[in-house]
Amino acid sequence: MAEQHVGKVVEVIGPVVVVAFEGGHLPPIYNAVRITSEGFEAPVPIDVIAEVEQHLGEGRVKCVSMQPTDGMVRGMKVEDQGGPITVPVGKGALGRVMNVIGQPVDKLGPVDCKERCPFIAMLLRWRIRTPSWNLLKRA
């Protein structure tokens, strides 16, 4: 089993979460981290996925949450997921409505797909295909 890297929430500003990791570990940019309220008394349990966007130095990273951060406080447990956010892909995902972390929101039950693809890879491919408008000079 892969080594589990655990950190703690240092700061929460809206959807932006600053996390400190011990032992010099910094998750790579675009890695997913899971923030939980384990050990905290919260009215609603917190289980939030965020994406690392910036290395701040001193073992800290700045992340953007993919879900609401209501109730999140300093000191909450953060686990590096070891890879980017992935979403289900394949025939079972066709026609389904999912959020950015791959959870179905169309109330049709779980998405029946064995394969998952990194969300960031799909965005980068889309960006490459997006046409750009160039201004033409008159001769």
**Tell me: the pLDDT tens digits for 35-55?**
999 988 888 899 999 999 999
* CATH annotation of 6-84: 2.40.10.170
**Tell me: the pLDDT tens digits for 74-131?**
999 999 999 999 999 999 999 999 998 989 999 999 999 999 988 765 566 555 555 5
Strand pairing class (77-84; 6-13): antiparallel
User: Which residues in 5-114 belong to E strands, given as ranges?
Assistant: 6-13, 16-21, 31-36, 47-57, 60-65, 77-84, 86-89
> Is this structure's pTM higher than 0.85?
no
Which residues 6+ apart lie within 8 Å of 134 measured at CB? none
Residue of 58, 61, 114, 119 lying closest to 86 (CA atoms): 119
Q: Which uninterrupted H or E stretch holds 137?
A: none
Domain boundaries, the chain: 6-84, 87-129
